């Protein structure tokens, strides 16, 4: 069970990346490769808040939420907007990779490559739950990820704004001639994705520490998560992340530690080949 | 610095010789006239290939501080074999190709180094050694990879001045035998460094007859629980850990979470990471790191060390001192002092003569001049021979201690009770 | 209502419309005829704010110059646009499609009174949509999809409805329904700008005809001027005399 918990914790990290990818993808059709870096920056913002400024945790979370949302908005302005104006979504994919490199580079230059420990609001003595051990902050991370994932899934299915963003994802021009301000929605999606990354920075950083390399570690598996779960499906991405994490942990534990990447990418390929829309890509559409 | 016309002509002639008659230096007949053993008027060129820019720039700056102080000292004491020492620093950007190009350009300009410090990384050293071999130029430097570099047949003039990190393997094996470990586990990064470290321990444990089980992790891993559980299932008596930075923190976090407090030993790399600063004492129970004994604040230090530290702190390169402590300055200093001892004892900087001396076992270490290897340089044994150009560890080289903190001089302090 | 003067428009550097002028007067309908590739869709897109972008000329709606405005602003001013090929959101349900059409109404909640009323009106006008409100739009029949596309455009309560070949690909009986609907909308006071290939049916709802050829206005006038069959033939056969596929 400890292995499962471990899988759920890394799974939660991957799910958070998947949620960020999907939020932007759904509203503006752009795959924001830099989302892993936004999460990385969130851990630094949370470090600044909790350690450097000695803020109580609610203020740390607020500070990180705003800070990362602002970074995301700047990213949209600088790296995405000019290309969307030229209707060049493929180039936008490349500029997000560029933005990603810039962010991790800046973090490394300003903060150094050594990990920084965040101040944690609660005792982190391990708990034994269902026969497995897990740190309280990690448990909170799993719960928060589930809550955010389900929340944003139902919000995007139920609220007018959510449905509007799904419409933009499906057909940008058609949505704009239904009266939807697609640019505003695009910036909004970046801000929301950044805000979610910021808000979870403290929980993520409690597990991973603040390190510049975090973004790169996350980016790839977040991608696998949405490939498994189905791009554009928030629920799929959420589950895809957890599944990726559990496969990863179980294969590291039982098959051998050389194999987790191979197994995860094997599953990834199998899904791509047999169900290109992801395991949940279609099913979800019908269920909800 | 002005050179008199005559010696300039002489240098030009040597350059021509160097360019067109590479055999010059090889012929015994010409030995006394060869470029590198030029007359007393020409300087002893100490050529340093390091990365002045890029990620290791600050560390290099400290090393250069050490070179400079040592060169000044040596010149004050009359130079080497009566020749004034000239320090030549080349910025190789830690890139092997750049390093070779710079060296070749330098050689082509007609100058020949008397001794070379061949780079801060094994890759750079590996690129320079063949060129130095063909020109019979001695290099005394501090590369890490014994496996790649300790080949006197291929690189007859390359000598290492620090103990290779692979020596950690035998050192741990001794500890394992003393503690009666029946089975040992190792967790290491799936990278060149990690595999190199594993190979060193694997060989040593095989020799000691103690089974070694292992698991690897990717450097992008964010949680180490499954790997540790896998090793835990093997019921080892001790754990060796390789890694640096975040991955090591994840390991100790998961280890604490699993309540697995078996004796755990950090390898050289993991030991260089400030664990005590980054982890609560609870998660470091039964954790040992391997330190160089001379770096412990409590060890007996060379007499000149405190004065050296004071000089460094007031010198041109003092900016790096608070970050790195005295160690990189001492590395720079010691390498110059070794070059002097070798050339002085051989009576020449001629590559073959110096090599012969170093390999003969007659080389006397300049204990009083060395700062980085403990009192009387007792932590190092220049056991060079025709078979190995790496020094040997002594009983004073390594020590296992609980994760230490560092004091103002960059020396390790082991706090009691941890 | 809509006044276009000397509009020149281009996809990037590629010009597709030259000096096009036309107008739709309040409560009347104008139909645009032309061969495949003549530039009809391009004209409607330019009016709605999609590419091609205006390079010269003016588009005035309700007395205001909207030439450079973003599409969603034009829609908010009272333009409804039913794009060609039954452009709906196939992965959303019928009701979600209608809600998407209602974003221009005040408020961001889906249950505002204005939105409810607009939904009720749509379902009253299109009972078949009411029956299938929870179905995915992509699963509807072609005729139902076209009805949904029109219903969606009507959700924002437009003053001018623009339709691009609403009869394309539909069975004849359904084509009749579509034109009956357009006639009804016109009687309700909506101004209409319609692109059509089925000239006979289109003429029944038209007040004014504009013929576009090669991106320029080739002929234009009140519908009675086009009673002459030779003019219609010219439209269908084109000047070169080659018949146009699908006509
Ligand atoms: N996105 C585009 N980019 C570049 N050129 C385009 C684009 N869309 C259409 N065109 C070109 O513009 C011209 C007019 O096309 P348009 O679609 O407006 O014609 P149409 O009259 O609507 O034809 P149809 O009857 O087939 O719908 C054509 O030459 C077409 O190739
Ligand atoms: Mg068309």
> Mind listing the pLDDT tens digit for each residue in A154-210?
988 889 988 998 888 888 889 999 999 988 988 999 999 999 999 999 999 999 999
> Does the structure show a pLDDT above 90 at B278?
no
Residues C48 and C119 in one domain: no
Residues 6+ apart with CB under 8 A from B166: B146, B147, B196, B199, B200
Optimal mutation site among A179, A281, A288, interface C, most CBs of chain C within 10 A: A179
Residues of B in contact with A250 (CB under 8 A): 226
pLDDT score recorded for residue C240 = 41
For residue C133, is it within any domain? Answer: yes
For residue C12, is it within any domain? Answer: yes
> Using CA positions, which residue lies closest to atom 6 of ligand 1?
C11
Output the CA–CA distances (angstroms, integers) from residue B343 to B36, B184, B396, C2, in the order listed: 11, 45, 27, 96
Equal fold, B44-165+303-396 vs B167-271 = yes
Q: Is the CB of C37 under 6 A from ligand 1?
A: yes
**Percent share of chain A, pLDDT over 70:** 93
Nearest ligand to the CA atom of C33: 1
pLDDT score recorded for residue A248 = 87
Pairwise CB contact (< 8 Å): A158 & C103: no
Residues C136 and C167 in one domain: no
Q: Which fold has domain B44-165+303-396?
A: Rossmann fold (3.40.50)
For residue C98, is it within any domain? Answer: yes
Residues of B in contact with A37 (CB under 8 A): none
Pairwise CB contact (< 8 Å): A166 & C90: no
Residues C30 and C147 in one domain: no
Residues of A in contact with C90 (CB under 8 A): 170
pLDDT score recorded for residue C96 = 93
Within 13 A of B358's CA, how many CA atoms are on the CB side? 33
Q: How many domains does chain C have?
A: 2
C182, C80 contact by CB (below 8 A): no
Could you give the domains of chain A?
A: 2-118+129-287 (1.10.3470)
pLDDT score recorded for residue A228 = 84
Residue-wise pLDDT for B361-392, tens only, equals 899 989 889 998 988 888 999 999 999 999 99
pLDDT score recorded for residue C230 = 58
Nearest ligand to the CA atom of C214: 1
| CA C214 / ligand 2 centre spacing (Å) | 13
> Candidates C12, C14, C16: which one to mutate for ligand 1, based on the most atoms within 8 Å of Cβ?
C16
Q: Is the CB of C187 under 6 A from ligand 1?
A: no
Touching partners of A (3+ C-beta pairs < 8 Å): B, C
Pairwise CB contact (< 8 Å): B222 & A13: yes
Nearest ligand to the CA atom of C235: 1
Q: Is the CB of C41 under 6 A from ligand 1?
A: yes
Q: Do chains B and A touch (3 or more CB pairs under 8 A)?
A: yes
Interface of A with C (CB under 8 A): 87, 158-161, 163-164, 166-167, 170-171, 173-183, 285
> Does the structure show a pLDDT above 70 at B98?
yes
A137 touching chain B per CB within 8 A: no
Q: Which residues pair with A89 in a beta bridge?
A: none
Residue-wise pLDDT for B141-179, tens only, equals 887 788 888 999 999 999 999 888 888 999 999 999 999
> Does the structure show a pLDDT above 80 at B251?
yes
Residue-wise pLDDT for A7-45, tens only, equals 999 999 999 999 999 998 888 778 888 999 999 999 999
Minimal-distance CA residue of chain A relative to B253: A207
How many angstroms separate the CA atoms of B324 and B299, rounded?
Answer: 19
> Candidates C40, C163, C202, C246: which one to mutate for ligand 1, based on the most atoms within 8 Å of Cβ?
C40
Last residue of a domain, one of C124, C157, C190: C157
For residue C84, is it within any domain? Answer: no
Residues C100 and C110 in one domain: yes
> Does the structure show a pLDDT above 70 at B2?
no
Q: Which segments of chain C does DSSP mark as H helices, in order?
A: 40-48, 71-77, 94-101, 113-125, 127-131, 142-154, 172-187, 199-205, 229-237
A10 touching chain B per CB within 8 A: yes
Per domain, the residue ranges of chain B are: 44-165+303-396, 167-271
pLDDT score recorded for residue B275 = 87
If we measure between CA atoms, which residue out of A112, A123, A82, A111 comes closest to residue A99?
A82
Pairwise CB contact (< 8 Å): B257 & A134: yes
> Does the structure show a pLDDT above 70 at B28?
no
For residue C23, is it within any domain? Answer: yes
CB nearest to B245's CB, from A114, A218, A253: A114
B1 touching chain A per CB within 8 A: no
Q: Is the CB of C52 under 6 A from ligand 1?
A: no
Residues of A in contact with B278 (CB under 8 A): 115, 117
> Does the structure show a pLDDT above 80 at B403?
yes
A188, A25 contact by CB (below 8 A): no
- In the predicted model, what is the mean pLDDT of residues B388-405? 92
CA angle C11, C12, C16 (to 5 degrees): 35
Mean of all residue pLDDT scores within chain B: 85
C100 CA: distance to closest CA in chain A (Å): 6
Residue A249 buriedness (CB in 10 A; 0-12 / 13-18 / 19+): buried
Last residue of a domain, one of C133, C157, C181: C157
> Using CA positions, which residue lies closest to atom 8 of ligand 1?
C42
Q: How many CB atoms lie within 10 A of CB B347?
A: 12
Residues C66 and C116 in one domain: no
> Does the structure show a pLDDT above 60 at B31?
no
**pLDDT grade, residue A287 (50/70/90)?**
very low
Give the tokens for residue A98.
């560029």
Q: Do chains C and A touch (3 or more CB pairs under 8 A)?
A: yes
> Does the structure show a pLDDT above 50 at B60?
yes
**Percent share of chain A, pLDDT over 90:** 44
Q: Is the CB of C245 under 6 A from ligand 1?
A: no
Q: Which ranges of chain C have pLDDT less than 50?
A: 239-247
Residues of A in contact with B254 (CB under 8 A): 6
For residue C204, is it within any domain? Answer: yes
pLDDT score recorded for residue B25 = 32
B240, B265 contact by CB (below 8 A): yes
Pairwise CB contact (< 8 Å): B223 & A10: yes
How many angstroms separate the CA atoms of C101 and C108, rounded?
Answer: 13
C126 touching chain A per CB within 8 A: no
Q: Is the CB of C115 under 6 A from ligand 1?
A: no
Residues 236-255, chain B, touching A (beta carbon < 8 A): 245-246, 249-250, 253-254
C169, C145 contact by CB (below 8 A): no
Residues C20 and C54 in one domain: yes
Pairwise CB contact (< 8 Å): C99 & A163: yes
Q: Is the CB of C19 under 6 A from ligand 1?
A: no
B392 touching chain A per CB within 8 A: no
Q: How far is CA C67 from the centre of its chain?
A: 18
Residues C25 and C129 in one domain: no
Pairwise CB contact (< 8 Å): A167 & C50: no
Minimal-distance CA residue of chain C relative to A233: C91
How many angstroms separate the CA atoms of B26 and B134, rounded?
Answer: 10
Residues 6+ apart with CB under 8 A from B210: B173, B176, B177, B181, B182, B183, B184
For the CA of C84, the closest atom of ligand 1 is 27
**pLDDT grade, residue B40 (50/70/90)?**
low
Residues C197 and C101 in one domain: no
> Does the structure show a pLDDT above 80 at A235?
yes
How many angstroms separate the CA atoms of C79 and C48, rounded?
Answer: 8
Pairwise CB contact (< 8 Å): A208 & B226: no
B223 touching chain A per CB within 8 A: yes
Nearest ligand to the CA atom of C39: 1
Residue-wise pLDDT for A246-285, tens only, equals 988 888 888 876 677 777 778 777 777 777 666 665 433 4
If we measure between CA atoms, which residue out of A31, A82, A43 comes closest to residue A227?
A31
Residues of B in contact with A13 (CB under 8 A): 222
For the CA of C197, the closest atom of ligand 1 is 25
Residues C168 and C228 in one domain: yes
Residues C146 and C31 in one domain: no
Structural class in CATH, domain B167-271: alpha beta
Pairwise CB contact (< 8 Å): C100 & A181: no
| CA C164 / ligand 2 centre spacing (Å) | 7
Which parts of B16-111 are beta strand (E)? Answer: 44-50, 85-91
User: Domain range holding C107?
Assistant: 91-157
pLDDT score recorded for residue B30 = 33
Residues C111 and C228 in one domain: no
For the CA of C51, the closest atom of ligand 1 is 1
> Does the structure show a pLDDT above 90 at A127?
no
C48 touching chain A per CB within 8 A: yes
> Using CA positions, which residue lies closest to atom 26 of ligand 1?
C36
Output the CA–CA distances (angstroms, integers) from residue B213 to A114, B184, B196, B253, in the order listed: 29, 6, 16, 21
CB nearest to A10's CB, from B222, B253, B259: B222
How many angstroms separate the CA atoms of A267 and C30, rounded?
Answer: 57
> Does the structure show a pLDDT above 80 at B393?
yes
| CA C42 / ligand 1 centre spacing (Å) | 6
Residue C69 belongs to a domain with what CATH number? 3.40.50.300
């Amino acid at each position: 069970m400890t292995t499962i918990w471990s899988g759920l914790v890394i799974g939660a990290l991957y799910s958070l990346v998947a949620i960020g990818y999907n939020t932007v993808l759904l509203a503006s059709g752009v795959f924001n490769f830099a989302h892993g870096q936004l999460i990385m920056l969130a851990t630094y913002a949370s470090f600044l808040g909790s350690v450097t400024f000695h803020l109580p945790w609610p203020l740390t979370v607020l500070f990180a939420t705003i800070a990362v949302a602002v970074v995301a908005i700047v990213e949209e302005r600088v790296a995405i907007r000019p290309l969307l104006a030229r209707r060049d979504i493929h180039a936008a994919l490349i500029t997000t990779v560029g933005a990603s490199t810039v962010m991790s580079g800046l973090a490394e230059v300003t903060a150094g490559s050594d990990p920084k420990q965040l101040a944690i609001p609660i005792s982190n003595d391990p708990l034994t739950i269902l026969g497995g051990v897990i740190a309280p902050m990690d448990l909170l991370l799993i719960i928060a990820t589930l809550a955010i994932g389900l929340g944003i899934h139902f919000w995007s299915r139920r609220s007018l704004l959510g449905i509007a963003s799904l419409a933009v994802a499906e057909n940008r021009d058609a949505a704009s001639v239904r009266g939807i301000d697609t640019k505003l929605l695009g910036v909004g999606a970046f801000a929301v994705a950044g805000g979610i990354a910021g808000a979870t920075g403290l929980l993520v950083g409690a597990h991973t520490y603040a390190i510049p390399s975090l973004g790169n570690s996350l980016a790839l598996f977040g991608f696998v998560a949405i490939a498994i779960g189905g791009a554009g499906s928030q629920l799929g991405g959420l589950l895809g992340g957890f599944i990726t994490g559990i496969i990863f942990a179980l294969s590291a534990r039982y098959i051998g530690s050389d194999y987790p990447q191979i197994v995860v990418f094997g599953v990834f390929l199998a899904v791509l080949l047999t169900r290109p829309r992801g395991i949940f890509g279609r099913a979800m559409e019908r269920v909800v | 610095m002005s050179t008199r016309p005559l010696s300039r002509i002489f240098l030009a002639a040597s350059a021509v010789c160097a360019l067109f008659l590479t055999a010059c230096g090889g012929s015994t007949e010409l030995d006394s006239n060869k470029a590198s053993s030029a007359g007393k008027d020409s300087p002893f060129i100490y050529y340093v290939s390091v990365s002045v820019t890029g990620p290791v720039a600050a560390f290099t700056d400290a090393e250069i501080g050490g070179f400079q102080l040592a060169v000044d000292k040596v010149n004050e004491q009359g130079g080497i074999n009566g020749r004034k020492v000239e320090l030549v620093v080349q910025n190789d950007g830690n890139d092997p190709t750049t390093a070779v190009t710079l060296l070749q350009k330098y050689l082509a300009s007609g100058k020949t180094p008397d001794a070379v410090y061949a780079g801060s990384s094994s890759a750079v050293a590996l690129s320079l050694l063949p060129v130095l071999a063909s020109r019979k130029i001695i290099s005394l430097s501090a590369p890490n990879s014994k496996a790649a570099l300790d080949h006197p047949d291929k690189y007859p003039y390359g000598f290492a001045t620090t103990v290779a990190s692979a020596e950690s393997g035998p050192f741990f094996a001794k500890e394992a035998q003393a503690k009666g470990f029946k089975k040992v586990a190792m967790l290491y990064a799936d990278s060149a460094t990690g595999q190199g470290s594993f190979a060193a321990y694997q060989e040593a444990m095989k020799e000691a007859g103690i089974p070694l089980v292992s698991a690897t992790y990717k450097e992008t891993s964010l949680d180490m629980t499954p790997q540790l559980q896998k090793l835990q299932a093997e019921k080892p008596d001790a754990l060796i850990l390789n890694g640096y930075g975040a991955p090591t923190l994840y390991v100790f976090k998961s280890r604490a979470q699993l309540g697995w407090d078996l004796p755990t030993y950090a390898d050289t790399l993991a030991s260089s990471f400030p664990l005590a600063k980054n982890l609560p004492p609870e998660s470091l129970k039964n954790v040992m790191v391997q330190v160089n004994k001379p770096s412990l604040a409590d060890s007996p230090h060379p007499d000149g060390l405190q004065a050296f530290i004071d000089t460094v702190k007031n010198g041109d390169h003092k900016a790096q001192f608070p970050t790195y402590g005295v160690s990189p300055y001492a590395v720079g200093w010691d390498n110059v002092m070794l070059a002097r001892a070798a050339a002085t004892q051989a009576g020449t900087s001629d590559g073959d003569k110096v090599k012969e001396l170093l390999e003969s076992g007659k080389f006397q270490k300049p204990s009083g001049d060395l700062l980085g290897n403990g009192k009387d340089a007792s932590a190092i044994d220049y056991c060079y021979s025709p078979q190995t150009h790496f020094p040997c560890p002594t009983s004073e080289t390594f020590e296992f201690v609980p994760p230490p903190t560092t004091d103002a001089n960059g020396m390790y302090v082991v706090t009691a009770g941890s | 209502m809509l006044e276009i003067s000397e509009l020149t428009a281009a996809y990037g550097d590629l010009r597709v419309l030259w000096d096009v002028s036309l107008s739709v007067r309040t409560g009347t309908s104008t139909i645009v005829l032309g061969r495949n590739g003549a530039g009809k869709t391009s004209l409607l897109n330019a009016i709605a704010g999609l590419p091609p972008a205006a390079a010269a000329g003016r588009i005035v709606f309700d007395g205001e110059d909207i030439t450079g405005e973003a599409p969603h602003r034009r829609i908010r001013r009272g333009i409804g646009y039913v794009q060609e090929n039954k452009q709906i959101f196939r992965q959303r349900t019928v009701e979600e499609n209608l809600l998407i059409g209602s974003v221009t109404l005040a408020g961001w909640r889906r249950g505002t009174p204005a939105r409810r009323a607009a939904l009720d009106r749509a379902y009253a006008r299109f009972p078949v949509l009411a029956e299938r409100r929870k179905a995915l739009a992509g699963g509807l029949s072609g005729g139902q999809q076209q009805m949904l596309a029109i219903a969606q455009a009507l959700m924002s309560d437009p003053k001018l409805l623009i339709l691009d070949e609403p009869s394309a690909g539909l069975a004849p009986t359904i084509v009749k329904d579509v034109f009956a609907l357009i006639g009804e909308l016109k009687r309700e006071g909506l101004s209409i700008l319609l692109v059509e290939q089925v000239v006979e049916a289109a003429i029944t709802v038209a007040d004014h005809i504009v013929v576009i050829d090669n991106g320029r206005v080739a002929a234009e006038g009140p519908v009675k001027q086009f009673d002459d069959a030779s003019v219609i033939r010219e439209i269908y056969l084109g000047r070169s005399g080659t018949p146009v596929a699908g006509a």
